[in-house]
Chain A
Amino acid sequence: MNHMIDLITPLQLAFPEAVGNATLAHYLFVSAAMFVMGLVGFMTRRNMIVMFLCTELMFQGAGLALIAFGRHHLGADGQTFVIFVLCVAAAEAAMALALVVLLFRHRETLSSQAWKELNG
C-alpha cells in the first residue's frame, strides 16, 4: 500500500508522472466501454434525444481513444483530431436537434417508433 501514499502526492507532483503506470490498454478499455455503452443505448432507448445523447457518448469514447493514442505516440495529432471530433459533434448536435424539433412538431412525441411508416 506504500504505492498509494506515493500516488496521493499533490497534483503538481503527479501531473508529469500522471500517466503513471497505467498502460495504453487501460485507457482504450475505458474508451471502448464508453463507446459500447453508447451503442447499447442507441439500440435500446426510444427517445430520440436520448438516442442522440448516446451518439455523443460514442463520440466521447472515440475522443478518449484518440487522446490516449496521441499520448502513446507523444504527438499532438490525437488532440487535433479530437478538436475535429468536437466540431463534428457540434454540427451533428445542431442538425439532430433541429430534426428532433421538426419531428416532434409533426407527431407530438419523441418516440422513434412514431416514424415506423418510413420503412418504405
Chain B
Amino acid sequence: MNAAPTALSATTSGADLLLWVAFPYICLAVFVVGHVWRYRQDQFGWTSRTSQLLEHRWLHWGSPLFHLGAFMVIAGHVVGLAIPDSWTEAAGISEHAYHTTAVWAGSVAGVAMVTGLGMLCARRLLTRRIRLGTDRSDKLLFPLLSVTVLLGISATATHNVFGGGYDYRETVSVWFRGVFTLQPHPAAIADAPLLFQLHALSACLLFAAWPFTRLVHVWSAPIGYLARPYLVYRRRATPAAPAPARQRRPASSSRRAA
C-alpha cells in the first residue's frame, strides 16, 4: 500500500478522473469553504433546529437511535477507511476476525441508524406541524442522508452479509486515503461494486451539503460543558476601541463591538 504507485496512471479513464478525483475534491472544497463562510456569516442559524417541542413521541426513540447508531457507524468508517489493513494485521487481527467484527458491529449500528433515521423522517413527513417547519435545507438533507445510509447498508448487506464478501479495504479505502494524502488512486475504486461506488458518491454530496444544513450542529457538540463552571457571568460588551469622545458617528461605523 505504501508502494506509491503513480497516482494518476495513464490507464485511468476521463470519467474515473472526474468521478473519483475531481468530484471528491470539489465536494471537499465546498465542505471547507462552506463551513468557514457559514460560521462567519450565520451564527444565528447555527443550531440543531430542535423540534422536540412540537413532537416528542417519535423523537424519544428515533433521535437517540439515530445519533448513537451514527456514532458507531462513523467510528466504523474511521477504522475501515483510515486504518490500512496492514496495520490491523500487524496488530495481530486477522482479516477474518476483522471482517466478522465489522459486519456484526456494523450491522447493529447500521440497523440502529436506519431505524432512527426512518423514525425521524416519518415524524417529519407525518406530523403536520413538523412538516410545515421543514425548510429547504432539510428537504435536501433528509433525502440525501437517507440515500447515503441506505446505499451503505445495502452495499454491506449485499456483499458482506449475504454475498461472498468484498474486501473494500483493498480498494475503496485505498482511494479514500489517497484523496486525503493528495495522492489520488481513482483506479482503486473504479472496479468496486456499484453499490460501494454510489455510496461513496452520495457521501461526497453529503459532505458538500453539510455546511448548508443543520448538520453543522455536529461541530458544536458541547464537550466543553463538562469542564466549565456552572455559573457564567459576562460583561455587557467590551467596546472595540475607545470611541472618539462626543463625536457624531456615521450610522454604520459602530457595528463592530464584539
The yes or no verdict on A and B being binding partners is no
Which residues of chain B have a CB within 8 Å of any CB of chain A? none
